[in-house]
Structure 1
């Protein structure tokens, strides 16, 4: 899939889940700069849009709703990242004192709510996308030690990996359901996702059915140290 194809699917998917002001912001407020950020920075680095949400609404109970260009949320308990593409246009050059204060309050609120923020000028995205990618990977590397969002795991998935190492044997759906107090279907889904990311390796009963999973120990040890 090309960037244009994946981007169109990405926007259509999120549009189908929105309504009201959230949908209007996506259709009318999501423009050249926001698309350029994905095309020049995010896509070359990761080749997917996993855990990424365009025009993401964050509510300040006292002062209203803020819309982020993109929110990257692989796990809300571990990392919430606000990605912004800022143009040096008339609305910036002619900003009054109240608007300037609102901009600072918005950023302060996000930081106080444990958000990380990366803001790139559209000029920098166009002229020096490599530097933007480096900042992005530098931040994500602090949390995951990897560059690909597809490798990132949730806290629940991380607990499954710890269980794999603790048991010291191939792990089954029953093991995960019992230890994490999950329904069988939820446990099965967790194991499949981890296998897709190659954190665990399937052991097949026959050509189709998987009887258990074994830890990909070299990869897990790098994550859990």
Structure 2
């Protein structure tokens, strides 16, 4: 099995061989300690390969000026910008102009169809398992599956995401209206989510009828990824 060091060397060499000028120079200079640490602590344990991951990826900002993202993951039609931000560089040493430019750039990239994820260097270095969890949750929205069983699982996860978005106990009518499905199908999904422990029923009223469903800790830990 290929180890990280071998795979990472091949990964960087592959992109260096296909770049010239400033794009090559930026990769040579910019892919430093923080980026390598992310690749080693987060990306490699999660994916085990570097397919479709681009280091020091050049994009243009709203002024038409080049900007190099730490990584861009672009396997299909969607593109995810991944940034590793150190406290000193992005907080302590950031002046007002740099702060405004960073926010404007992120908004512009979002408008251009990029999805932006930022990780703190301290988390990458000392809490990589949290970064892996959050990144897996993000990627799971886009990495679609094909089999019938997996499509059902995908639908369940989308219901769970909607429940988290609502930030309150979920009702069958919420599921029915939001996903344009009938009441019986909504109940079936909620019962399946109860069975696997991602939500739990919340009885309401004197008759203890099950009118609401609440997301569980197990659902947060496993259902969103």
Tell me the TM-score normalised to structure 1 length.
0.63
Consecutive unaligned residues of structure 1, counting only runs of 5 or more, are 147-218
Paired position in structure 2 for 1:34: 35
Paired position in structure 2 for 1:69: 70
Pairwise mapping of residues 70-219 of structure 1 onto structure 2 (< 5 A)?
Answer: 70-76=71-77, 79-90=78-89, 92-145=91-144
Paired position in structure 1 for 2:216: none
Q: 1:220 aligns with which of 144, 147, 154?
A: 147
| Alpha-carbon distance between aligned partners in 2 of 1:63 and 1:102, rounded to the nearest angstrom | 13
- Return closer, same or farther for 1:136/1:91 CA change in 2, 3 Å cut-off: closer
Tell me the TM-score normalised to structure 2 length.
0.63
| Alpha-carbon distance between aligned partners in 2 of 1:92 and 1:221, rounded to the nearest angstrom | 47
Consecutive unaligned residues of structure 2, counting only runs of 5 or more, are 153-225
Alpha-carbon offset, residue 90 of structure 1:
4.9
SS at match of 1:139: helix
Is 1:14 matched with 2:15?
A: yes
SS at match of 2:50: coil
- How many residues align? The count is 151
Alpha-carbon offset, residue 98 of structure 1:
1.0
Contact 2:62 2:108 in 1 (8 A): no
SS at match of 1:71: strand
